[in-house]
């Protein structure tokens, strides 16, 4: 059996045409919110409770790392109890922290460690060791953290933090919620006020959840569309109950599957619809998607809704640049939707996609061409001539490249191909959506 680059046995899987998708499906807890729930609960002294936590590999990497630094984390009665230590009280880990495939775990935990008097070594899989960490190393060094990284500012790296750091102001060069959150996590145990200015608004889960945990945090719009977040340091967070919404980024795969397979109609309950995350849903609607939100409500400071989606003929679209941050993780599956739309869709300004779990521009261009789509690749985006709703030829094997979202995107594409396609390895999907293949097959068999 072929070994995946991760070292486990690769799991190839074949996806082909079948019936329409019908019924309801459960979508895992939001990955971004889950990482933060664990970290903020760790920084609150006392027991917090988390319901709906993502149990994928990425969030498990965060939980295990926090456990290695003295935080008690246990699954009980279908939820998670976290015995937090309080800001400043993480312990020296006895072993390297294995981040697996997770960039969010790595960057956010680096922020947390930076203002603790401990040293942590971060290791990860082949995909993670290719990803740039200089975007957090540089600002955390300004706070006094000492980082010894591999060539190019990459993992493995060792970060030595310090207590008594003095808070400062950071202006982010890249629009990145991970960097913003890393600096705010560092700021929790610094003296004074941390100010982070982001060039354009990115996902705001950190700000919402820190407020709910009792932190003194303020946000405001600045001139030129910039956004300022101010956090008072030496924070004393209060333990609480956190309910995690279903992940819109995971729901996205099932939604596009229902849109492209004729006759489909599915319902996904309790999905996060935070405005900083739903760029794909807005773009799909602009393409003609029949996608509605029912029962909009608040879940612990995050907006959620039940999503109903029906098969729809899709028209091509040019993705407006201002929508890009709110759909940054959804471009692989957006490209699949575009490949079945009528006309040429274009998306540019996507240079960040080249440094995600894989080079997503190259991986999607290669895979889509292999199954018969017409794709033009630019340095920072793709143009795709859609099939007008007809099935694509399919019949190829595509590489998931250690990237869960590439694997799931092609699994969905296979449902509307003339010949089944094979994804060479579905194991990466476990990082964010354990049970994805079974969920997809159950919807198609209903
Ligand atoms: C995330 C932020 C985004 C996103 C990632 C999760 C987060 O990364 O792509 O999947 O939870 O903060 P960047 O901050 O690198 O854009």
Residue 205 located in a structural domain: yes
- Atom of ligand 1 lying closest to residue 176 CA: 14
What are the tens digits of pLDDT across the range 21-31? Answer: 999 999 999 99
CA distances from 410 to 357, 399, 400, 439 (A): 16, 9, 8, 15
For residues 253 and 333, state if they share a domain.
yes
383 has pLDDT over 90:
yes
Residue 116 located in a structural domain: yes
What are the tens digits of pLDDT across the range 38-63? Answer: 999 999 999 999 999 999 999 999 99
> Is 32's C-beta closer than 6 angstroms to any atom of ligand 1?
yes
Ligand 1 centroid, distance to 143 Cα (angstroms): 22
Spatial distance between the Cα atoms of 405 and 214, rounded to a whole number of angstroms:
34
Q: Does 348 carry a binding-site annotation?
A: no
For residues 173 and 210, state if they share a domain.
yes
User: What predicted TM-score, i.e. pTM, was given to this entire model?
Assistant: 0.98
At 268 the three-state DSSP class reads strand
> Is 194's C-beta closer than 6 angstroms to any atom of ligand 1?
no
For residues 110 and 84, state if they share a domain.
yes
Q: Which helix (H) or strand (E) holds 255?
A: helix 248-260
Give the pLDDT of residue 4. Answer: 46
For residues 144 and 169, state if they share a domain.
yes
Annotate 120-185 with DSSP letters as a single string: EEEE--TTGGGS--HHHHHHHHHTT-EEEEETTTEEEEEEE--SSPBP-EEE-SS--HHHHHHHHH
81 has pLDDT over 70:
yes
Mean pLDDT to the nearest integer, 239-244: 98
Give the pLDDT of residue 446. Answer: 82
Largest interatomic CA distance in the chain: 62
Q: Which two tokens mark 426?
A: 């579905």
Q: Considering only CA atoms, which residue is closest to atom 10 of ligand 1?
A: 329
- Atom of ligand 1 lying closest to residue 35 CA: 11
> Is 104's C-beta closer than 6 angstroms to any atom of ligand 1?
yes
What are the tens digits of pLDDT across the range 68-77? Answer: 999 999 999 9
CA distances from 161 to 125, 233, 234 (A): 24, 16, 15
> Is 431's C-beta closer than 6 angstroms to any atom of ligand 1?
no
Banded model confidence at residue 223, pLDDT cuts 50, 70, 90: confident
Ligand 1 centroid, distance to 418 Cα (angstroms): 35
Residue 6 located in a structural domain: no
For residues 198 and 234, state if they share a domain.
yes
Residue 253 located in a structural domain: yes
Cis check: omega of the bond before 267, within 30 degrees of 0: no
Give the pLDDT of residue 2. Answer: 43
Spatial distance between the Cα atoms of 233 and 226, rounded to a whole number of angstroms:
22
Residue 140 φ/ψ, nearest 5 degrees: -70, -30
- Provide the CATH number for the domain around residue 40: 3.65.10.10
- Partners of residue 228 on adjacent β-strands: 197, 220
Question: CB 101: neighbour CB atoms within 10 A?
Answer: 26
Banded model confidence at residue 3, pLDDT cuts 50, 70, 90: very low
Instruction: Tell me if 219 sits within 8 A of 198, measured CB to CB.
Output: no
**What domain range includes position 267?**
13-29+245-445
> Is 178's C-beta closer than 6 angstroms to any atom of ligand 1?
yes
- Atom of ligand 1 lying closest to residue 31 CA: 11
Q: Of 444, 366, 442, nearest to 410 (Cα)?
A: 366
Residue 1 located in a structural domain: no
Number of domains in the chain: 2
Ligand 1 centroid, distance to 185 Cα (angstroms): 15
% of the chain surpassing 90 pLDDT? 97
397 has pLDDT over 50:
yes
Catalytically active residues, by annotation? 329
1 has pLDDT over 50:
no
Ligand 1 pocket mutation pick from 57, 112, 175, 177 by most atoms within 8 angstroms of CB: 177
What residues contact residue 26 under an 8 Å CB cut-off, 6+ apart? 246, 269, 439
Ligand 1 centroid, distance to 104 Cα (angstroms): 6
């Amino acid at each position: 059996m072929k070994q995946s680059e991760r070292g486990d046995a690769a799991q190839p899987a074949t996806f082909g045409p079948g019936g329409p998708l019908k019924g309801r499906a459960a979508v895992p807890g939001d990955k971004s919110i889950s990482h933060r729930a664990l970290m903020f609960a760790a920084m609150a002294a006392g027991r917090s409770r988390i319901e709906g936590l993502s149990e994928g590999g990425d969030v498990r990497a965060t939980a295990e790392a926090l456990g290695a630094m003295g935080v008690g984390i246990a699954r009980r009665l279908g939820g998670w109890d976290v015995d937090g230590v309080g800001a400043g009280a993480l312990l020296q880990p006895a072993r390297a922290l294995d981040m697996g495939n997770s960039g969010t775990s790595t960057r956010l935990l680096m922020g947390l460690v930076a203002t603790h008097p401990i040293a942590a070594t971060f290791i990860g899989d082949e995909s993670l060791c290719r990803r740039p960490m200089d975007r957090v190393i540089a600002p955390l060094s300004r706070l006094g953290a000492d980082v010894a990284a591999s060539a190019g500012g990459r993992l493995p790296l060792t970060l030595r933090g310090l207590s008594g750091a003095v808070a400062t102001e950071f202006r982010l060069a890249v629009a990145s919620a991970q960097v913003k959150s890393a600096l705010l996590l560092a700021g929790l145990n610094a003296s004074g006020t941390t100010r982070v200015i982001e060039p354009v608004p990115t996902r705001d889960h950190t700000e919402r959840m820190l407020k709910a945990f009792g932190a003194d945090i303020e946000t405001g719009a600045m001139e030129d569309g910039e956004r300022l977040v101010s956090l008072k340091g030496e924070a004393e967070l209060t333990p609480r109950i956190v309910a995690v919404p279903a992940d819109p980024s995971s729901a996205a795969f099932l939604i596009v599957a229902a849109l492209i397979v004729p006759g489909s109609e599915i319902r996904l309950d309790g999905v996060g619809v935070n405005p900083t995350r739903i760029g794909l849903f807005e773009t799909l609607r602009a393409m003609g998607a029949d996608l509605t939100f029912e029962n909009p409500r608040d879940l612990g400071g995050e907006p959620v809704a039940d999503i109903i989606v029906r098969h729809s003929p899709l028209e091509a679209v040019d993705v407006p640049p201002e929508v890009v941050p709110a759909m940054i993780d959804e471009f692989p599956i957006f490209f699949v939707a575009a490949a079945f739309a009528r006309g040429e869709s274009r998306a540019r300004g996507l240079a960040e996609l080249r440094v995600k779990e894989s080079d997503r521009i190259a991986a999607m261009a290669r895979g889509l061409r292999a199954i018969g789509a017409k794709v033009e690749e630019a340095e920072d985006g793709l143009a795709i001539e859609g099939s007008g709703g007809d099935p694509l030829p399919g019949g190829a094997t595509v590489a998931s490249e250690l990237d869960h979202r590439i694997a799931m995107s092609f699994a969905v594409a296979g449902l509307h191909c003339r010949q089944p396609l094979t994804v060479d390895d579905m194991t990466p999907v476990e990082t964010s959506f354990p049970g994805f293949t079974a969920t997809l097959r159950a919807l198609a068999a209903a």
